[in-house]
A and B are shown apart, each in its own frame.
Chain A
Amino acid sequence: MSDSEPVPWENVGREPQKARSRAGMVVDLERCIGCHACSVACKTEHSVPLGGFRTRVRYLERPDRPTLAFLPLLCMQCQDAPCLDACPTEALRRGADGRVEIDQDRCCGNKACVAACPYQAIFINSETGLADKCDFCTHRTEVGLDPACVAACPCDALRFGDLDDAQDPVSQYAEQRGARPFKEDAGTRPSVLYVGHEDWMEPAAKSGIQISREDRDIVYEQPVGETEPSR
């Protein structure tokens, strides 16, 4: 080991990045252990205020076994994105590699996109008053870093790459593992694909990415029934 050997983080931003045709992700639920590394990495990366979520890990009680299932959810970067159509100010737009981004200069916080998204991926950021959501960490991927959630995931349950490039490891992984969209019926052609996705999960996780009083998760705890716990 020589003293001059490069260390990986020193190359960030120095090396040209391969242009992606369709940025995408595979979420392998068989690898996920529900550790929340992705969601906390995301909140830290983007200084997301409490109460809003670009990504969230759902804890669902399995119907078939007495255990839990873990379901990380994030913006699905749909190819037919209803948010894009809903936005009257054209603040939502598609990036060169297919990701869906919000132009903060154009957004007026009217929430049309929030209502349009079948995944509840969009929320109003309480600091800015504007719409916010996952953008696959554009500021990271443009300098050669993986999105924050992917970089953090200890079990490689989240993988990022180009879904249009058959040679890209993420496409190959999606193919091998039979990845498919979550809530495919919503018909939005997501660029986030799931492995180990089971049908019961869709109704169980219906509140999607934002927290809701309907949640039955055992994390992000909210009052159950009428009584609130007290000390």
Chain B
Amino acid sequence: MADLDRRDFLKLASGTAVGLATGALSVPIFKRVTDGAPTSAATTASGAATGKIDYTRAKAVPTICFGCTTHCGVIGWVQDDRVRKIEGNPLDPNSRGKICAKANGMIHYTYYPERLLFPLERVGPRGSGQWKRISWDEALDKVAGRLRKIRDDGHPERFIFHYGRDKTKGFTSRFTNAFGTPNRLNRRSICSSNRRAPLMSFYGRDFEWETQDFAETQFILNFGANPMEAYQGGLFMMQRIQDARVDHGAQMVTFEVRPSATASVSDEYFAIMPGTDGAVAMAMCHVILAENLHDEVFWTRWANFPLDDLRQHLEPFTPEFAEQESGIPAADIRRLAIAFAQAAPRCCTLSNRGSAKHYNGMQADRGIRMLDVLVGNVGKPGGYCLSTLRMWSGHYGQDGLPKISQPKPSPPKPKPYLPGTPQFAELPAEVQDRVQGFPEVWQKKYFGELATPSEYPLSFHWYTMRVGQLVQEYIRQGRAKVEVYMSYVYGAAYGYPEANLVREVLRDEKLIPFHVAIEIGYSEQAALADMILPEATSLERWDAHSQNAYGLIPYTGIRQPLVDPPGEARPVQIILRDLARRIGGGMEQYFDFEDVEDFYREWYQNVPLSWEEFKRRGIWHDPTRSLDYELYERPVPEDKLAGSVVDPKTQIIHQSKDGKKTAVGIMMDGKAVQGFPTPSRRIQVYDEIFPEAAKAVDLPLTDGNASPLPIYFRIPSHENLDDDEYILTTFKWNVHTQGRSGHLKYQAEIVHTNPLFMHPETGRELGFDEGDEVEVTTFRPKGYTFRAGEEEPVGSFRNQVRFLRGMHKRCVASSHHVGHWEHGAIGKAADNRQQAEQFPGFDTQHAALQDPDIQQNKIWWSKDRGGVGGGVHINDALPINPCPLVGGQNWYDNVCKLRKV
């Protein structure tokens, strides 16, 4: 047997099967081996893969999915040099071998005829869609020439690297650091700043997220999170939540404004007034204390605020008050608070955009976080756990893990804009004054208005989260000078709030003299570039990977190329390496590798597996390691205790190293334990950073965001709403990933429109019938935020009404992934064959990229085939609305009016 290959074995086995009785024996069921029907994959003359995948012949290679930010370990089945199928990697302790629709459909991110394959240079006016193919050498020389000049001139900060999704775990910052620019900008404020700030404040780390122990929990209190559809880590969460619910009777209660998948599978769903989750959470804290259901021992030991004072603070937040604000009956709030506390420690909260993406969302999430501390479930089995992640090098909770870090040498980090530097001198006077008034610790973290906007000090107090939605506006205002703007797989021109403003700035050659886009598909952003560099997809390149582990054992994985990129597309590591070498001036020393694999081999040299074995498995973790429960009670490791000093007043243990004092733990009952990685080593329910930040930017202390204790306050824009004013909420579908998936055919087939969902009673009030086209007009927010209170509407869009009884009656909802005007036939939901043929960035004849659905125009929902079309772009009408202090986009505050067309 050993000498036979797999195919021979199957033939042999299937041959013998004929003569055997059914049932009793273990034999393969194999059919039609000799009847001539193709059971293996065939490739048509045009090159499209057809026929069944032959799993005996296809090779399985593990890698990491890039369909969203969850990043599941997957295996790709490769047959005839083509990735035919993505499945889960069962060795991934987070995904446990499961995947979602996005992972499956992502293949069409790699294989479609409208993929960018060649470097392009614009030949007509910017945005005119006129391009010519150029060679890589020419493209890189041109970009490097511009970059070298600004670096030589002492203004590296005039190079902006703006990414939409960068999971290189530090490779792109290697490039920007080596170049010397602090302006490696992201989209964190679009996503999660309001949600991360409470975690940083409470726990000293955001740990990517908390890692609830769903597998062991009995009660989940969910404020506006949607892990069943769209949540970083959702796939890890959904399977554990459903196991807990179905197999051991866990309860999940969800507060949402629309019947999301998560709301739909919850045991109880409450439609809540947008932006009032904090009121409910605070009232639940009130009830738990009033009923004495809190964990006094845990609170006294670990929270940094006296319980009696908290009682006083919570006094006004009664369930009746919360009912008035939220519409959730006081009796339910009371009942659920009691049930939650009684389940402790096997209970946990869950929150995300629904609670956090509001003017009061940072404080709402602090209120929700307080629920877990009150009942003492933090770090307990079935409770609210924190699991370490990222690249490991001895940080909190990472003791005993191998050090995994980028190959040396590491480039120096950019220098802050201190008074006296030319960068500081260029800042507007008002900004200079503000920064000079900052405490020294913030001045040392200040890198100009794009990376560290001075009006949002909490966006860089903990680490640089940035305020991405203001970047183009700040460039327009002249707060920062730009010479080269590089977009890296970044869809702001389509997906950001007031995306029209982004486009306006990107079109302006005075503001943005040169825009180079590294992209895979011809996006709305790439359409506004001067040069486009085609990138490899996640199936064609390397990346380091780790994520917080819902199995509570840290792990790491490797993204590796399964196939070569088609045409001239190249992985980002090669693009940046070759740019660095051309720019020179010392940059090249950080990119001293020929084969990208060598770079990653060195990066992972401490993983206790051979490189070949690590690639073979795709994942490494130590299954014998103890689970990340109660990290705070663990003893401080010996090496950190050496030479440490205990502060007699606070009992905090400090280690002095190179003249720098670092807290490493806290004395508890005579034992040196790690505590939490906060300045106080306790959970900072009370945090003066909020009023301090408010004072620094002249935010009145009466604004709820300035409160040192968690608080609920009404969103200023939602005070005194007129009867004809409604709240417009956007949301994500489970098959889509922001603006990055509208052109993926199987996902778009499922969701290609974004009707305006509303409660039937809302519709009747407004005189709408289902199917009516209505115009939605949005208005500026109020309070202390961007262009607050301006009367002029922000924008409007027209869309079709769909009734859903699960909608909150004051709220209308529309998804924001569709309505592309670029991104090929599927993105536009239109016959794009002629344009695609002529587009110099594509090779529609490329054998590997053939797709009959696109090339025979089978898009049944396209208007030219009598369908509904590809939805409505609504993002221009969503106001830029950064949360005070931290700058997270308040996506769901939007006040709007509705009118039948």
Contact = CB atoms under 8 A, between A and B. Distances in A.
Contacts of A143: 10, 28, 55-56
B618 to A, nearest CB: 9
Contact of A37 (B39, B91, B99, B819): B99
Contacts of A37: 98-101, 103-104
A104 B39 CA distance: 12
Nearest to A42: B104
Contact of A40 (B62, B105, B609): B105
A77 to B, nearest CB: 14
A1 B75 contact: no
Interface in B17-51: 17, 22-23, 25-31, 35, 37, 39, 48-50
Interface in B214-245: 228-229, 235, 238-239, 242-243, 245
A88 B49 CA distance: 31
B246 A142 contact: no
Interface in B811-833: 819
A105 B616 CA distance: 39
A49 B75 CA distance: 24
Contact of A227 (B22, B52, B773): B773
- Which of A10, A37, A40 is most buried by chain B, counting CB atoms within 10 A of its CB? A40
Interface in B791-807: 797-800, 802, 804-806
A110 B22 CA distance: 34
B709 interface: no
A105 B873 CA distance: 46
B90 interface: yes
Given A19-B27, A222-B861, A50 B745 contact: yes
Given A37-B100, A44-B105, A229-B869, A21 B806 contact: no
B322 interface: no
Given A31-B246, A44-B746, A218-B804, A7 B26 contact: no
Nearest to B805: A66
Contact of A151 (B53, B88, B853): B88
Interface string B858-889: 11110100011101110000000000000000
Specify the main secondary structure of chain A where it touches its partner. Answer: loop
A34 interface: yes
Interface string B78-119: 000000011110110001011111011101000000000000
Interface in A1-51: 1, 3, 7-10, 12-14, 16-21, 28, 30-31, 33-37, 39-41, 43-47, 49-51
A69 interface: yes
Contacts of A104: 37
Contacts of B90: 8
A66 B259 contact: yes
A51 B853 CA distance: 9
Contact of B228 (A35, A61, A139, A151): A35
A230 B22 contact: no
Given A21-B22, A68-B261, A153-B98, A43 B746 contact: yes
Contacts of A8: 90-91
A65 B269 contact: yes
What size tier do the contact residues of chain A reach? 35 or more
B54 interface: yes
A13 B8 CA distance: 11
B10 A13 contact: yes
B27 A223 contact: no
B625 to A, nearest CB: 12
A66 B773 contact: no
B806 to A, nearest CB: 4
Contact of A19 (B26, B609, B804): B26
Interface string A199-231: 000000000000000000011111111111111
Given A37-B99, A230-B773, A219 B750 contact: yes
A37 B105 CA distance: 9
A129 interface: no
Given A13-B56, A67-B263, A68-B806, A40 B26 contact: no
A225 B805 contact: no
Contact of A155 (B54, B239, B751): B239
Interface string B385-426: 000000000000000000000000000000000000000000
Given A30-B246, A139-B55, A229-B869, 12 more contacts: A7-B91, A7-B617, A8-B90, A9-B60, A37-B101, A47-B48, A51-B860, A152-B99, A156-B243, A221-B751, A228-B800, A231-B819
11 contacts: A12-B56, A35-B100, A35-B238, A45-B53, A51-B860, A65-B269, A95-B29, A96-B31, A126-B856, A229-B755, A231-B872
What 9 A-B pairs are tightest by C-beta distance, nearest first? A225-B771, A66-B806, A229-B800, A13-B56, A9-B60, A154-B98, A67-B264, A36-B101, A40-B101
Interface of B: 6, 9-10, 13, 17, 22-23, 25-31, 35, 37, 39, 48-50, 52-56, 60, 62, 75, 85-88, 90-91, 95, 97-101, 103-105, 107, 228-229, 235, 238-239, 242-243, 245-246, 259, 261-266, 269, 271, 609-610, 612-613, 616-617, 623, 733-735, 745-747, 749-753, 755, 757, 769-773, 797-800, 802, 804-806, 819, 852-853, 856, 858-861, 863, 867-869, 871-873
